[in-house]
Amino acid sequence: MTISATSVDTDISTRLPIPGLLALATACFIGMMTEAMPAGLLPQIGADLSVSEALTGQLVTAYAIGSILAAIPLTAMTRGWRRRAVLLLALGGFLVMNTVTALSTHYAVTLTARFFAGVFAGLLWALVAGHASRMAPVHLRGRAIAIAMVGAPVALSVGIPLGTVLGEALGWRFAFGVMSALTVGLLAWVRFGVPDFPSLVESRQLPISKVFSIPGVKSVLLVTLAFALSHNVLYTYISPFLISTGMSGGVHSALFVFGVSALVGIWVIGVLIDRWLRELVLASVSLFCFACAGMFFWQDTPSVIYASIAAWGLSFGGAGTLYQNASANAAGEAADIAQSMFVTSWNVAIAGGGLVGGAMLTTLGARYLPGAIAVLLIPTFLLAWCSRRHAFPPK
């Protein structure tokens, strides 16, 4: 790891502060649940607000746009604040906006609440990695970030299905109300269970343009954008692809395989990241590329498709943790601003996945999606391979 010991305010020890890191993981869980839960409850929300499912889907889009627009400026604006206060602000924003969403009977109000929930999400995602690294001893900072970030994939693989079941049984408003109740408890946990850190001193508050020009930062952001865009194209349009291969009844099974293997990937990354970050990045990109090639060349063999989806999930599970670590390492004392850039890149990839994938679907057809993504991942791998000096250096 290249972050110097003087760049953080932490008690150097040999053990991870697990309770505090789990509080950050819970914050990530609530952030991801807030983002994705409307996707599983579109019919119920649309019927209740008297709008089409297409308009209801914009509740997810508004959240992503809020994160894209706010992550960098809001993180820069709050650099002078103590870190726990900023974390509490982000969580308090979730509490207010999820409560408004649960109570609103007007589509415009709900859409506005979703936008501002995304604003607070952009701030949260920019904070978590830096806060987790400051809580841990130098040689365990990668593992600390992995623990803190585990809440997001757990939300996708476990939380969203449970939230959908809860929303269908008791109403979508109840599901958002539960999120607000969980946030109240989390606010207390963070206030009394997560250590505080001072703001960055004035000399360390580099302009955003200076942070972007730090060696390695641009390469990390480009690899992140290409990898996340590739994932979102395939994930968004996995149903049309499976239908084109004659596996129309296997969508739920495929997503389950993806979720389970992603959890395994998170565990692998958490164990190895502090010693093998460069190797894990290269392995993740290449494994995803081979998985896409397998789905493209063996479309008539369901067992190969399921195996390829498992490999894809394994490559994706800890990807966010890998690139956030690389970003923090490259940026050093400007890690928080670099993380806000990472958040913006990731959310641009989410928004762009639907657009780019839609264009591919129209021009190439669903059967060619994995092949096109495999081609995109080749230069991504080469960029990561060549960025060995600053972005992805060997240990």
- Whether 84 and 95 have beta carbons less than 8 Å apart is answered as no
Q: How far apart are the first and last CA of the chain?
A: 7
* Confidence (pLDDT) at 223: 93
Rounded CA separation 36/57 (Å): 10
Of the candidates 392, 371, 231, 230, the one whose C-alpha atom is nearest the C-alpha of residue 298 is: 371
How confident is the model at residue 200, as a pLDDT? 59
pTM for this predicted structure: 0.75
Give the residue with greater pLDDT, 358 vs 369: 369
Report pLDDT for 286: 95
- Residues 135-153 pLDDT 10s: 888 778 778 888 888 888 7
- For residues 335 and 326, what is the distance between their CA atoms, to the nearest angstrom? 10
Portion of the chain with pLDDT greater than 90, in percent: 31
Q: Tens digits of per-residue pLDDT, 238-274? A: 778 888 888 777 767 787 788 788 888 888 887 888 7
**CB burial of residue 166 (10 Å; 0-12, 13-18, 19+):** middle
User: Which domains does the chain carry?
Assistant: 17-196 (1.20.1250.20), 208-386 (1.20.1250.20)
Predicted pLDDT at 297: 92
Distances in whole angstroms, Cα of residue 377 to Cα of each of 75, 207, 283, 384 = 30, 32, 12, 10
